[in-house]
């Protein structure tokens, strides 16, 4: 019997690393396939024309530029008169927010309320809890809508959300938050397409699975009973208070659902520097939640849905995205030097699968939300970046006709010459694109011209930027960096697009 050589074990390790690198791609594809079942597995059969009294809670700190438009939007809802109130929880604003609130309370007497905190700065969750303690101490509210101060509701959105609360097993409902910056730019259009994938697609799939990862902080509706069941307050220990609330709702025995037909519009960051600050907070919050609920993952005995294998794989494929990407690159490079023919087969399989998933998901996303697709179709196609698209197209060319592959690289004659560098960069691109995306962010933060930022973003890709942000969040969490809740500055650019 022949013994196993150390190189065989090392080759097996690299092969496993490469396969792990494919986990996010496969998980994403499975998620899109699941969406098809929503036509037969959804909550609409249990909905009814249910219009409980709803208290809107808007945390606000220096929101003078946006709070007036948000209130006007809410006061135009198609909902029974007198069945909703707006509570703006002012976190010791130093701008004209109090003046705007005095104007709006006079304009909508008995419907708009200003709850002022004279000492603020503790973060969104503390601000929300100040308002919730007052609202829940009274008997008026039968449901509570937690939202952001800049979000604009379409007139029918509230009614489409409350209909789900007719089902007593539902404790929370979230809407489809769409990017509404006007006129917008390349970054906001990338965000608009991303929101199709992360909300309109992902949350529909989670509806089918019967478990939701997060009710969007911009529009999450709770029954009164649900808020009381989870303690009547929002978690203040994390930067992802909305995700914590979603998990606690489900662990307390109530369901949460996403309604893709209930639409709200929000202004999103229009620069990579602002986007980075916002998403680092989100990603760190998700890492905190991952640790806080570490006894839940892959344990159906703890919760049949949250502890399920499918949901766990979907969660970690996003939360640990850069880890999978780097492992995949290490695996391919290792095989390149150890087992070149294996490397070619693994590389071809990896990028062929990526090409199929890319085409399927991009076209599917554009069909899910054709309105957004009309203005962000190009960003959808460029989402992975030109470099990744070129690599995917190169896979379609037979090796014999491709000068980059028609050489000693895959036959075993591998060296360390300069001409090998393009091949090695191509092999390791899923991992090293994270580094290049970080450089694009640094250039934007340093004040690089917008045209240069846009060009680099198109070449490297928006997807790698999201991966770089996740890696940055991991680094910040490892270093135990300050957990400040930095708000995203809004300037009132959001519009309800028809």
In the sheet where 255-266 sits, what is the strand order? 112-117, 84-91, 54-60, 143-147, 219-223, 170-179, 255-266, 152-153
| CA distances to 17, 26, 80, 299, 350 from 22, in Å | 9, 6, 50, 24, 7
What is the three-class DSSP state of 19?
helix
Q: What is the pLDDT of residue 17?
A: 93
* Residue spans per domain, the chain: 6-28+316-478, 40-310
End-to-end, the C-alpha distance of the chain in Å comes to 72
Identify the DSSP state of 308: S
Strands annotated E in 239-371: 255-266
Position 309 pLDDT exceeds 80: yes
Over range 245-257, report the average pLDDT. Answer: 96
Buried b (16+ CB within 10 A) or exposed e, 322-358: bbbbbbbbbbbbbbbebbbebbbebbeebbeebbebb
Position 186 pLDDT exceeds 90: yes
> How remote is the C-alpha of 477 from its chain's centroid?
18
Residue 297, burial from CB neighbour count under 10 angstroms (0-12, 13-18, 19+): middle
Give per-residue pLDDT as tens, 204-232. 999 999 999 999 888 999 999 999 999 99
Helix %, strand %, coil % of the chain (to 5): 55, 10, 30
For residue 266, which of 114, 381, 157 has the smallest C-alpha distance?
A: 157
| CA distances to 65, 133, 164, 183, 313 from 489, in Å | 10, 26, 32, 17, 34
Over range 451-470, report the average pLDDT. Answer: 96
pLDDT band at 1 (very low <50, low <70, confident <90, very high): very low
| Residue 253 CB coordination number (10 Å) | 11
Give per-residue pLDDT as tens, 17-46. 999 999 999 999 999 999 988 878 888 889
Give per-residue pLDDT as tens, 398-453. 766 665 555 555 555 555 555 677 778 888 899 999 999 999 999 999 999 999 99
pLDDT band at 341 (very low <50, low <70, confident <90, very high): confident
Asked if residues 272 and 453 have their Cβ atoms less than 8 Å apart, the reply is yes
Give per-residue pLDDT as tens, 89-138. 988 888 898 899 999 999 999 999 999 887 766 778 888 999 999 999 99
With residue 12 as reference, give the H or E element that holds it.
Answer: helix 6-21
The CA angle 421-426-430, to the nearest 5 degrees, is 130
Asked if residues 179 and 268 have their Cβ atoms less than 8 Å apart, the reply is yes
Share of the chain above pLDDT 70, in %: 92
Q: Please state which CATH class domain 40-310 belongs to.
A: alpha beta
């Amino acid at each position: 019997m022949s013994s196993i050589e150390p190189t065989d074990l090392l080759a097996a390790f690299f092969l496993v690393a490469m396969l792990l690198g494919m986990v996010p791609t496969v998980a994403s594809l499975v998620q899109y396939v699941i969406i098809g079942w929503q036509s037969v597995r959804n909550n609409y059969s249990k909905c009814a024309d249910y219009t409980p009294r709803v208290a809107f809670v808007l945390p606000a700190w220096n929101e003078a530029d946006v709070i007036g438009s948000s209130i006007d939007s809410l006061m135009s809802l198609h909902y029974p008169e007198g069945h909703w109130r707006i509570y703006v929880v002012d976190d010791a604003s130093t701008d004209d927010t109090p003046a705007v609130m005095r104007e709006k309370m006079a304009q909508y007497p008995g419907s708009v309320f200003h709850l002022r905190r004279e000492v603020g700065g503790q973060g969104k969750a503390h601000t929300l809890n100040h308002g919730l303690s007052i609202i829940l101490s009274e008997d008026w509210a039968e449901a509570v809508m937690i939202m952001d101060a800049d979000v604009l509701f379409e007139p029918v959105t509230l009614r489409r959300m409350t209909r789900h609360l007719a089902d007593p097993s539902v404790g929370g409902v979230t809407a489809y938050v769409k990017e509404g910056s006007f006129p917008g730019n390349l970054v906001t259009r990338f965000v608009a397409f991303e929101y199709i994938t992360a909300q309109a697609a992902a949350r529909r799939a989670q509806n089918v699975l019967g478990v939701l990862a997060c009710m969007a902080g911009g529009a999450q509706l709770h029954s009164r009973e649900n808020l009381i069941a989870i303690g009547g307050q929002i978690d203040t220990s994390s930067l992802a208070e909305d995700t914590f609330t979603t998990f606690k709702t489900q662990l307390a025995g109530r369901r949460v659902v996403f309604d893709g037909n209930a639409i709200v519009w929000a202004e999103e960051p229009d620069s990579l520097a602002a986007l980075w600050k916002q998403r680092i907070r989100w990603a760190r919050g998700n890492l905190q939640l991952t640790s806080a609920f570490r006894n839940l993952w892959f344990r159906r005995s703890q919760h049949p849905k949250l502890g399920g294998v499918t949901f766990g794989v979907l969660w970690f494929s996003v939360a640990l995205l850069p880890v999978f990407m780097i492992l995949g690159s290490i695996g391919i490079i290792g095989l390149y030097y150890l087992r070149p023919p294996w490397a070619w087969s693994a590389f071809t399989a990896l990028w062929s699968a990526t090409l199929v998933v890319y085409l399927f998901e991009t076209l599917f996303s554009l069909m899910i939300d054709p309105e957004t697709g009309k203005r962000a179709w190009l960003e959808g196609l460029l989402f992975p970046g030109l470099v990744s698209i070129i690599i995917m197209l190169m896979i379609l060319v037979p090796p014999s006709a491709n000068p980059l592959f028609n050489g000693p690289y895959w036959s075993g004659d591998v060296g360390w010459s300069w001409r090998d560098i393009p091949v090695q960069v191509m092999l390791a691109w899923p991992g090293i694109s994270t580094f290049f995306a970080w450089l694009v962010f640094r250039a934007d933060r340093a004040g690089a011209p917008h045209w240069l930022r846009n060009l680099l973003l198109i070449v490297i890709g928006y997807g790698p930027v999201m991966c770089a942000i996740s890696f940055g969040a991991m680094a910040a969490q490892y270093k135990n960096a300050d957990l400040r809740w930095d708000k995203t500055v809004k300037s009132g650019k959001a519009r309800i697009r028809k």
